[in-house]
């Protein structure tokens, strides 16, 4: 009874925080709600017995990634009014993508409904939980069955990192940056004058 109550508290809070991430007007508030969602997801992992994933979520995502998001959002000083000007322009694309994701979720749920033997087959392929640790079982799955998906997620993170660096170092009006090559190539920085002896400049 207590476990079910804790599960519903964590789940409802995580869903509410996820909704606030995409609906908050201030991007700083969105990052704070994202941190709250991470903490509740870690609580759900603890209820499932996946302590390693829970600690990984708190230490890596909350302690590093989400805080980095917060610093980047505060440093970029994003103008939210300009971002909302083209909202209606991209609304049809968002509706199409949302519809595709909804259809995929329905297909997944229908697959589990019409093929209930899949869960037992997956359970039979995995070793009993009392024979291996949580970390070893996770590593066996990631680096054997899901190795290609793991590498694909690494590529996605690499592309995201390159995009973040490109957005940070883009040329913007009113921002002065040091250009060492232009400073070295200056020809008018030093002027040579011939001074006669005993007269000075």
End-to-end Cα distance, the chain: 93
Whole-number average pLDDT of the chain = 79
At 151 the pLDDT is 92
At 64 the pLDDT is 82
pLDDT band at 159 (very low <50, low <70, confident <90, very high): very high
At 13 the pLDDT is 93
- Out of 1.20.120.1200, 3.40.50.12780, 3.20.20.80, 3.40.50.300, which CATH number does the structure's domain 1-85 have? 1.20.120.1200
pLDDT tens-digit readout, 168-180? 777 767 777 777 8
CA distances from 96 to 87, 91, 93, 101 (A): 14, 9, 5, 9
Cα torsion through 164, 80, 61, 15, rounded to 10:
-140
pLDDT band at 155 (very low <50, low <70, confident <90, very high): very high
Average pLDDT on 25-52 reads 86
Does the predicted model carry a pTM greater than 0.85? Answer: no
pLDDT of 136 > 60? The answer is: yes
Where b means 16+ CB within 10 Å and e means fewer, 181-193 reads eeeeeeeeeeeee
**Residue 113 C-beta-side C-alpha neighbours within 13 Å:** 6
Higher per-residue confidence, 3 vs 42: 42
How many other CB atoms are there within 10 angstroms of residue 140's CB atom?
13
Average pLDDT on 122-151 reads 74
């Amino acid at each position: 009874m207590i476990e079910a109550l804790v599960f519903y508290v964590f789940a409802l809070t995580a869903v509410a925080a996820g909704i606030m991430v995409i609906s908050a007007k201030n991007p700083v508030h969105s990052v704070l709600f994202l941190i709250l969602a991470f903490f509740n997801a870690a609580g759900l992992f603890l209820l499932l017995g996946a302590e390693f994933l829970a600690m990984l979520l708190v230490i890596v995502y909350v302690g590093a990634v989400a805080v980095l998001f917060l610093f980047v959002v505060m440093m970029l000083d994003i103008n939210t009014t300009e971002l909302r000007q083209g909202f209606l322009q991209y609304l049809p694309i968002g509706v199409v993508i949302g519809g595709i994701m909804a259809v995929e979720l329905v297909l997944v749920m229908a697959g589990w409904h019409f093929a209930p033997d899949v869960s037992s087959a997956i359970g039979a392929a995995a070793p009993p939980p009392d024979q291996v640790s949580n970390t070893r079982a996770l590593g066996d799955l990631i680096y054997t069955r899901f190795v290609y998906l793991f590498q694909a997620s690494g590529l996605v993170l690499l592309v995201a990192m390159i995009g973040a660096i490109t957005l940070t170092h883009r040329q913007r009006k009113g921002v002065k940056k040091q250009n060492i090559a232009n400073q070295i190539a200056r020809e008018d920085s030093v002027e040579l004058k011939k001074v006669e002896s005993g007269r000075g400049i």
